[in-house]
Structure formats: structure tokens, C-alpha cells
Structure 1
Amino acid sequence: MLSNLSQQPEDKILALMAQYRADPRDTKVDLGVGVYKDASGHTPIMRAVKAAEKRLWEEEQTKSYVALAGDPGFSDAMVSLVLGDAVARDAVAAAATPGGTGAVRQAFELIRMANPKARIFVPNPTWPNHLSILKYLGMETVTYRYFDSATGAVDFAGMQEDLAGLTAGDVVLLHGCCHNPTGANLTLPEWQAVIAVLNDKGAMPMIDIAYQGFGDGLDADAAATRLVAKSCPETLIAASCSKNFGIYRERTGILMAVSQGQTAVAQDNLNFLNRQNFSFPPDHGARLVTMILNDDALRADWQAELEEVRNGMLGLRESLADELRKLSGSDRFGFVAQHRGMFSRLGATPEQVAHMREHHGIYMVGDSRINIAGLNVKSVPILAKAMIDAGV
């Protein structure tokens, strides 16, 4: 039977990581992998996480299963973090998942259960795994314009034109903040315009928010998600704790379903999907997040360190934009400083990306998406010189 299987396409980012590891050059720069790194290239454990782990080790009394939807305390803490007081708590069904990816997968499956004919409108570009999961599930996708490579900004006019094709029962996938892979975000007035289209067409928003706190701050980054949740009849939200808590390997995420009058049936179906896919969700990371969010001292330390991370990335953005301004004699790369989150798309062609990799040891994805957190004071000038040399 196994002989009937076919080879799956190689993951481009994993292949890029392998190339980077094999490169003997001391000056090589890894801008491909999507994890936060400090100035030394290390992905640290946050102070509050370390403190919570020590406390958990001392206090935890059992490794028995939690509920199908995970610990209710985790759901309460995350709903508060993401949604604040935008909607009543009893209007939100929630279930813990293995990472933000697990939340995205469960959201798509929930949509398919509710409406097998639903079309999923997906931004072009988006995180590649969105499209991979949808293809695997056999769900119909429609792309809408999102990014203008010439300006490095959101192509909002194109987005509006494409969303005009929505019909009742469709779902629009949106990035809550820090768009991956471009770093370009909608403004709040643009979000309001999108909400008007969604409600006029009878379409449902699905928000993937994986980088809350990495852009303009915890509340500012959640503002759009909160606006959508309180303005639309129904909203699905897939949230990740991997980045803002730095607990990538603990696989900690949550799926929320916001509705009026359908919370009980939504919760029942979230529980059912968890049971079918993995039974009980992992608890270690969720427990740490809950402890941090519910303890004033731990939360304060976590938020302080998160601000250090956020400001560090903003500083790197500004440094790169400044260096490129000096070398190019123009401000055509000013968008890099305007983008938010870990990623930016530089507007380089695949050939220019290959040139930078071959001649300068700069490793980025073929579409020229870079992880800003992969830079440091020494590598910013190296990247800027490589970009100009490649003719970007």
C-alpha cells in the first residue's frame, strides 16, 4: 500500500535552512526561518516563561488530561488578551490547539462542517501553509489582491475590487496584525471598510493573529481583531502563543468562535473537532501562558521583555531603511521602516535573491521575504550592500 504514495513537494524554507547550514562562510546571514532571534542569533526563553516553568515544576501535581477544549483558565486568559472587552465572554467559544497552525486547521474544518460549499478568500500573498491546508482539505479558495510590490504597501484598491466578488456564506481570511509574509498592514479605516463589505455581502471573517505584541504593542496589534469581532455577526480567530511568549516548541494556540446566540453549539463542535484530530490538547505551554497572564509580576515582566523585542525589531527596520537610503540615494526602501512584525517583502526578483545568496551569503525565501529578527548591527550593512549589488 505504501508504494502508492507519492513524494511530497519539498518545503522551501526547510530546504533553505539546509543550504544555510551547509554554507561555510562566516559572514552568512539567515533571514529565512520564521522565529525570533536576538542579536546573537539565539532564540531565548523569556524571563517570565522561565519563572513560570520553575513554579509549575514545584506546584504541578498531575499529568492527567485536561478537558477536550483545554483548561478553561487558558481560554479565559487568551480571550481577554486578544479581545479585551470588545465582546462579552459568553459570546466566545474557545478551544486550545497544538499551536496557531492547529487553530487554523481546526477553523477551516469548522467552516467545512458548517458549510461544505464555502469559498475561502485568501490574501495574495499569505502564509503558504494557509493554502497548503486548504488544498489538503479540498476547500475552494479565491485569492484577493493584498500587496503592491512596487510600493511595498497594501494594495487596498485591488483588495476592495476582489472582495466585491464575495457572496453570502463565503469566508475571508485576514491577518490580524504583522502580515506574514509582507509586514504591510491595513489601517483602521481600511479595516472598517472591509467590515462594511463583509456585512453587506453576508461573508464571515476568519482572523489569523500570530504576532500580537510584535508590531505596535499588545493592544494596538489587537485593535483590528477587536473591531471585527464586535462589528460582525460571527468571527473566527486563530491565535498563536509561539512568538509573543517565545514557546514555539510547546505548540500553544487557541481557536475562538465569536457569535451571538450560537456559543453553545460552537463550543460543542470545537470540542468535537479536538476529539477527532488529537483528543486532548497539549497543556504545558497553555499552563505557562495562563500563569503569566494571571500573575501581575510575571505579566509585567513578560510585557516588558516583549516591548524590548518589539522595539529591537523596529530599530533594525529603521537601521536597514537608513542604510539603504545612503547606498541607493533614494527613499524607495522607506517601506521597510513602515512595515510591522518579523517580516518584510523586499521586492527582489528570484534571480536577485539567488544573486544575494551566491555572492553575499544572504539567505531569504525566493519571494524576498526576510525575517527582520535575523538581522543585527553587523549584518544590516551586509544585507543593504547585497541588495544594491543585486540591483534590487
Structure 2
Amino acid sequence: MFEALKEQPADKILALMQSFKEDPREDKLDLGVGVYKDAHGNTPIMRAVKTAEKRLWEEQETKAYTGLAGDPLFAERMRELVLGDTVEAGTVSAVATPGGTGAVRQGFDMVRMANPDAVIHVSDPTWPNHLSILKHMGMPVAPYRYFDSESGGIDFAGMIADIVQAKPGDVVLLHGCCHNPTGANLSLVEWKHVVEKINEVGAIPMIDLAYQGFGDGLEADAAATRLVAESCPETIIAASCSKNFGIYRERTGILMAVAQDPAKKKVVQGTLAYLNRQNFSFPPDHGARLVLTVLGDAELRADWEAELEDMRTGMLELRRVLADELRQRSNSDRFEFLAEHRGMFSRLGVSPEMVEKLRADHGVYMVGDSRINVAGLNRDTVPKLAQAIVDAGI
């Protein structure tokens, strides 16, 4: 049997990580891996999470299964965090998943069960794993225009023109905030226009919310998702706790399905639980328990929010400093968009050849599409990156 298997293409980001490890240069710079790093290059455990782990170690009395959907209180706390009081609790079905990626996969699975002919409309570009999962599942994909490499902004007219080509029952996949890989976000006015068009064509919005709290703040970053959920008959939301709680390896995510008709909740909730059973049975609980502990304790939550805000504003400051350095060194405002983008990532909009030149000549590692992880920088390395960009003639 095994001889029939074919070698799979290497994951580009994982390959980049390996190349970085093997590079002997001491001044090399890793801007490829999508994890938050502090000024010392570490991915720290957040203070509130550390306290919650200690509390959990002292108080937890069992490691028994929680249920196919995970702990209902985790789902309730996450619903409050993501959706606030925008929609009634009775309209939301939810299951815990192994990370945001697990939630995305389960969301696609549910779409395929409900409508095997559904086309998934994705932004160009989007997170590569969206496309990889959809290809593996054999689901049809249609790109919609999104990023304008020349301006570093959004081709909104092109986006709308493509979205209105969706058919009833199709799914439009949207990034709730901090678009990956570009960092370019829609304004709330633009979001309202997108919602109108999705409703006009009868498509279903699916939101990947992986970076709540990393852009403009917890509430501001949830505003678009809340707008969609309250404005559309049905909404699918895949949310991750990896970034904003810093629990990457705990694989903590949630899939929510909002149906304005509460009569649909029983069958939707049952379907989500069924999919969990088929794919991994019971979801992991440790990370979910940490999130639940932090969100359920006023003191821990306040400390978590304060640390998250420090992380967010630190990334914004790095963006400003990088834009300033590039303006001064290049005598051009071409990269001003970096200060306007939000989240961990920005796309420089340069060719793969230039990306390779930066790696070979300057030890600057980024994804081939020129996505950089702003959180991989600090005040000492920003000038190095800026000078490398200028020296490469970008």
C-alpha cells in the first residue's frame, strides 16, 4: 500500500524555518514564522495564563473527557469575547476545536455536508493553509481580488465585483481582522458594503478570526465579525486563542455557527458535535480550560488584557519606526502603508526574486510572497531590515 503514496510538497514556512536554523550568520533575521515574539526574540507565556496554569494544577481533580463539544462554559465565554451581546445566545452553536485551524477545517466540513456544490470564495491572497485544506478536501475555490501591491491597500472595487459573482449557498471566507498575509484591513464602512453584497447574492459569510486583540483592540477587532453576525441570516466563525492568549502549542480554538432562526440551533449544534466525533472525538481541554479560567476571573482578565494591549501597541510602534526608517533611508514614502496595516503581518509587495536576494545577501528571512512578521522585529533590528530593503533596490 505505502508504495502508492506520493511525496507531498514541503510546507514553505516550515522549510523557511529549517533554512533559517541552518544559516550560520549571527545577524540573520527571522521574519517568516507566524508567532509573536518579544523584544528579546522570545514567545513568552502570558502572565495571566501562567497564573491560570498554576491554579489549574492545584485545583483540577480529573482529566476525564468534557464532551464532544468541549466545556459549554468555554463556548459561552468565547461567544461573549467574540460576539458580545450582538446576537442572542440561543442563536449560536459552538464546539471547541484543536486550534483555529481545526475550527476552519470543521467549518469547511459543515459547509460540504450542507451543500456539496458550494464554492468557497477566498481573498487573493489568503492564508496559504486555507487553500491547502480546501484542495485536500476537493472543494471548489474562487479567488476574489483583495490586496493592491502597488498601494499596499485594498482593491475594494475589485473585491466587490468578484464577491457579487457568488451564487446562493456559496461561502465567502473573510478575515475578521489583521488580514493574513497582507495586514490590510477593511474599514467598517467597507465591511457594511461587503455584508450587503453577500446578502444580495445569498452567500454565507465565514470568518476566520485568528488575531482578535492584535489590531486595534479586543472590541474594535471584533466589530466586523459582530456586524456580519447580526446582519446575515447565517454566519460561520472560526476563532483561535493561539495568538491573543499565547497558547500556540495547546491548540485552542472554537467553531461557532450563528443562525438568526433559533429553530436551527438543535440540528446545527448536533452537526458540529457529530463532526468533532468523526475527526478527533473529544477536543483538547487544557488550553480551553486556561482561557476559561482567565476570562472568568476579573483580576486575571484585567492582567491578560493589559499584557495583550502592550503586545498590540508594541507592534504598532514597530510599524511606525520601520516606516520612518524606510522613509529616511530611501527618501520615499512608498512604504508608508506599513504604519497603516494591523496585526503581526504585512506584505511588502515585492517579487520572490527580491525576497531571495534579501535572504542571500542580508540574512533576512521572509515568506516568498514578501510577507513579514512585524513581531519578529525589535528596535535594534528595524534599522537592519530597512537598510537591507534599500540596499536590495526594492
TM range (shorter): over 0.9
Aligned counterpart in structure 1 of residue 348 of structure 2, from 343, 346, 349: 346
Q: State the secondary structure of the residue aligned to 2:212.
A: coil
Q: Does residue 217 in structure 1 map to residue 214 in structure 2?
A: no
- In structure 1, the residue matched to 2:63 is 63
Q: Does residue 160 in structure 1 map to residue 160 in structure 2?
A: yes
Q: Does residue 120 in structure 1 map to residue 93 in structure 2?
A: no
Aligned counterpart in structure 1 of residue 298 of structure 2, from 270, 283, 296: 296
> What 5-or-longer segments of structure 2 have no aligned partner?
none
The CA deviation at 1:365 is 0.5
The CA deviation at 1:19 is 0.8
The CA deviation at 1:328 is 1.2
Question: TM-score scaled to structure 1, two decimals?
Answer: 1.00
Q: State the secondary structure of the residue aligned to 1:262.
A: helix
Q: Kindly provide the CA deviation profile for residues 153-212 of structure 1, in whole angstroms up to 9, marking residues without a partner as x.
A: 011011011112111111000000000000000000110001001111110000000000
Q: Identify which range, 17-26 or 279-288, moves more after superposition.
A: 17-26
Q: Does residue 195 in structure 1 map to residue 195 in structure 2?
A: yes
Q: State the secondary structure of the residue aligned to 2:103.
A: helix
Q: Does residue 85 in structure 1 map to residue 85 in structure 2?
A: yes
Aligned counterpart in structure 2 of residue 266 of structure 1, from 226, 244, 268: 268
Q: Identify which range, 236-245 or 158-167, moves more after superposition.
A: 158-167
Distance 1:115 1:154 in 2: 30
The CA deviation at 1:331 is 1.0
Q: Kindly provide the CA deviation profile for residues 32-82 of structure 1, in whole angstroms up to 9, marking residues without a partner as x.
A: 000000011000000000000000000000000011000001000000000
* Paired amino acid for 1:68: L
Q: Does residue 130 in structure 1 map to residue 127 in structure 2?
A: no
Q: Does residue 326 in structure 1 map to residue 350 in structure 2?
A: no
Q: State the secondary structure of the residue aligned to 1:79.
A: helix
Distance 1:165 1:19 in 2: 41
* Paired amino acid for 2:368: G
Q: Is the 8 A contact 2:164 2:198 kept in 1?
A: no
Distance 2:75 2:253 in 1: 10
Q: Does residue 360 in structure 1 map to residue 358 in structure 2?
A: no
Distance 1:54 1:189 in 2: 44
Distance 2:132 2:331 in 1: 40
Distance 2:103 2:147 in 1: 25
Distance 2:137 2:264 in 1: 25
The CA deviation at 1:388 is 1.0
Distance 2:274 2:46 in 1: 34
Q: State the secondary structure of the residue aligned to 2:272.
A: helix
* Paired amino acid for 2:237: I
- In structure 2, the residue matched to 1:252 is 252
Distance 1:253 1:373 in 2: 22
* Paired amino acid for 2:378: N
- In structure 2, the residue matched to 1:371 is 373
> What 5-or-longer segments of structure 1 have no aligned partner?
none
The CA deviation at 1:95 is 0.1
Distance 1:375 1:328 in 2: 19
Q: Kindly provide the CA deviation profile for residues 307-332 of structure 1, in whole angstroms up to 9, marking residues without a partner as x.
A: 00001000000000000000111211
- In structure 2, the residue matched to 1:151 is 151
* Paired amino acid for 2:267: V
The CA deviation at 1:355 is 0.8
Distance 1:34 1:282 in 2: 22
Q: State the secondary structure of the residue aligned to 2:282.
A: coil
The CA deviation at 1:26 is 1.1
The CA deviation at 1:13 is 0.6
Distance 1:112 1:164 in 2: 21
Distance 1:198 1:90 in 2: 24
Distance 2:10 2:166 in 1: 33
- In structure 2, the residue matched to 1:47 is 47
- In structure 1, the residue matched to 2:337 is 335
Q: Kindly provide the CA deviation profile for residues 281-300 of structure 1, in whole angstroms up to 9, marking residues without a partner as x.
A: 00000000001001000000
Distance 2:69 2:164 in 1: 36
Which 4+ stretches in 1 moved above 4 angstroms? none
Distance 1:139 1:22 in 2: 37
Aligned residues: 392
Q: Kindly provide the CA deviation profile for residues 260-308 of structure 1, in whole angstroms up to 9, marking residues without a partner as x.
A: 2311110000000000000000000000000100100000000000000
- In structure 2, the residue matched to 1:382 is 384
